[in-house]
Amino acid sequence: MRTTILLLSVFATTISFAQTGKLITVDPGIERMTVYLNGGEVRTSTEVDLAAGLNTIELKELSQFMYVQSVQVAIKGELAILSVNPAEDRIPADRSEPRIARLQDSLEMLNTRVIELNDRIGANQAAKQMLTSNYDIGGSNAVTTAEALAKTADFFHDRTLKLNRDISADSREKLKLEEVQRNAAAELAKLESAGGRERKKVTVVVNTDRAMRTKVELRYLVANTGWSPAYDLVAANNTGPITLRYKAQVYNNTGIDWKKMNLVLSTADPSLGASSPALARWELGGGGGSGSGVDGRFDQGDYKQSQNMAPSLNGWNDASQHYEMITVSEVTAEFKIKRTYDIPSDARPYMVEVAEHTLPATYSYVAIPKVDCDAFLMARITGWETLDLVDGPANVYYEDSYVGESMISTAGINDTLDLSLGRDNDIRVERKELEDRTSRKVIGSERKQTLTYEITVKNTTTAPIHLVLRDQIPVSMNDQIKVQVLELSGGELDAPEGLVEWPMDLQPAASSTVKLSFEIRHPKGWNVSYRTRLRKQKLLF
């Protein structure tokens, strides 16, 4: 037995055969969907009974967003594939649009309910008319006691009030249902007037010497689908590991609903061709041709030609969708999703669970009192770089509480990932300017400004903590402005950036105080701002 495979790249040169013999029409559905960050690949198969001689197999009801040059057909058995031809197709509206059947069912239920309400309203109006017609108690010559009259009046009042309320409630419900009926009927008429939804089909002509039952495998690329990452980062306390829940938001706008679908998520790019680029001659001082210049860039002319077989990004996706550029690993990753999912073709994002990981973490606090007087608990996570993460938002939870949204960015990070778990009000941080060590003087042609700050950190928690205190000194961008550090209290200075750090370990109820002092000199006629104005929780360096 052998497997015959025909790629669509040769169908254009195939001689047109007279499609005689047995005609086999089948909807192969979708067995597995590989969803890329931008695009997808459909894989499916079906078994067919072939007759001896020519057979025409029509694989129908395929996505209208199929990229036709990507079609591949494989058939097992001793046979010859004569041609593979994708073509436009259209299926009836009631079969192509699931909303039609749903709207028809809804209208039927609405009609039934409206009829019931009409019957209730009619019965209550008849009962009310009966009460009105028989209000004369005992006839014109009867003598009625006051007590009997009161009881009868109460009965007529209560009964009439109930009937009126029932009629009003049913009438209001009827009006609302009739509005829903009109909207549903208008939407149904619009869908039915479309005359069916566009689809594509692939027609395969095969020739075999004998009748057989065989398997036809089909795969093709499709547009208007994709996924983006989303994460949950959960820390139960400030000593244990971090739980990372890797999720994906998958959208489907391919025109075909996915039912109990086996999904594979991939970071590959289906729009890239398989041909390698070529280097053009690097000419210096030439006439400005495609390969000239001093930057050493390669000539992309041949490379672009090699991309002709790849899907063009223009029209590759639905223009109504919003796309963002994200960073992915240089090595393609695939995630086989364990459970199946139902994802309708409505362009809405649906959450898919990818994986869950437990990662080791170390915890410390960071305080930047120049910006915010609270201390922030930071988790430094290790082991994440092997998980094939893609840049995306992360919901952060600490001690069963939602902290906020962070961002996982894989660019520029080595083997650790720093994550803020929020504020800790049990760590007190105070930063104040020492007036007795702050001065402003004019010396000759220069103006000298001395600034001194005292920063105190106190641990009021019941456990020892490690904290990194951060502050800054100004950085001169002009030779006429000179900055001199006078006191750092043992702080570590990053001179080019002007950042100062004080790592400290504090026992419960312990405190630590540091001082930061510096001097600024500049020509006395210059207007130099000594104090930066910072927005709360936003550090400007």
pLDDT tens-digit readout, 379-408:
888 877 778 888 888 898 988 888 888 888
The region that residue 504 occupies, defined by phi over 0 for left and psi between -120 and 50 for alpha, beta otherwise, is beta
Res 271: pLDDT: 72
Q: Where are the beta strands (DSSP E) in 110-252?
A: 197-208, 212-222, 225-235, 242-252
d(C-alpha 530, C-alpha 451), whole Å: 9
Look at residues 337, 323, 314, 320 and name the one whose alpha carbon lies nearest to residue 253.
Answer: 320
Residue 281 main-chain phi, psi, to 5 deg: -60, 135
Strands 258-266 and 32-36 turn out to be parallel
Q: Give the mean model confidence (pLDDT) for residues 183-210.
A: 82
Looking only at Cα atoms, what is the longest distance across the chain?
Answer: 126
User: Burial level of 262, CB count in 10 A (0-12/13-18/19+)?
Assistant: middle
Is residue 304's pLDDT more than 80?
A: no
Going by C-beta distance under 8 Å and a sequence separation of 6 or more, which residues neighbour residue 398? 234, 235, 377, 421, 422
Which DSSP symbol is given to 283? B
- DSSP assignment, residue 52? S
510: left (phi over 0), alpha (psi -120 to 50) or beta: beta
Q: What is the per-residue pLDDT for 194? A: 58
Number of DSSP helices (H) and strands (E) in the chain, helices first = 4, 28
User: Domains of the chain: which residue ranges?
Assistant: 3-96+197-222, 98-136+147-193, 225-272+310-424, 427-523
Predicted confidence band of residue 105 (pLDDT cuts 50, 70, 90): confident
How far, in Å, CA of 73 to CA of 76, rounded? 10
The H or E element containing residue 150 is: helix 146-193
Amino acid at residue number 434: L
Predicted confidence band of residue 140 (pLDDT cuts 50, 70, 90): low
Report yes or no: 230 and 349 within 8 Å, Cβ to Cβ.
no
Q: Which residues contact 449 (CB under 8 A, 6 or more apart)?
A: 439, 440, 441, 519, 520, 521, 528, 530
Residue type, 69: Q
Backbone angles phi, psi at 390, to 5 degrees: -120, 145
What pTM value is reported for the model?
Answer: 0.61
Q: Per residue in 380-393, is it b (16+ CB within 10 Å) or e — as a string?
A: ebebbeeebbbbbe
pLDDT at 308: 36
Distance, CA of 232 to CA of 33 (rounded, Å): 25
298 confidence band (pLDDT: 50, 70, 90): very low
To 10 degrees, what angle do helices 146-193 and 98-133 make?
A: 160
Q: How many CA atoms lie within 13 A of 141 on its CB side?
A: 0
Architecture (CATH level 2) of domain 427-523:
Sandwich (2.60)
Q: In this predicted model, which residue has the larger pLDDT, 355 or 413?
A: 355
Those residues with Cβ within 8 angstroms of residue 115's Cβ, 6 or more apart along the chain or in another chain? none
The confidence score (pLDDT) of residue 289 equals: 42
For the chain, give the number of residues: 541
Q: How confident is the model at residue 428 (pLDDT cuts 50, 70, 90)?
A: very high
Q: Residue 221: name the closest of 321, 313, 341, 83 by CA.
A: 313
Contacts (Cβ under 8 Å, ≥6 apart) of 260: 340, 341, 342
Check pLDDT > 80 for residue 451: yes
Cα–Cα distance for residue pair 264/258, rounded to 1 Å: 13
pLDDT classification of 324: cutoffs 50, 70, 90: very low
> DSSP letters of 164-193?
HHHHHHHHHHHHHHHHHHHHHHHHHHHHHH
- Give the integer Cα–Cα distance in Å for 29 and 48: 14
Pick the closest to residue 67 from 210, 217, 224, 215 (CA basis). 224
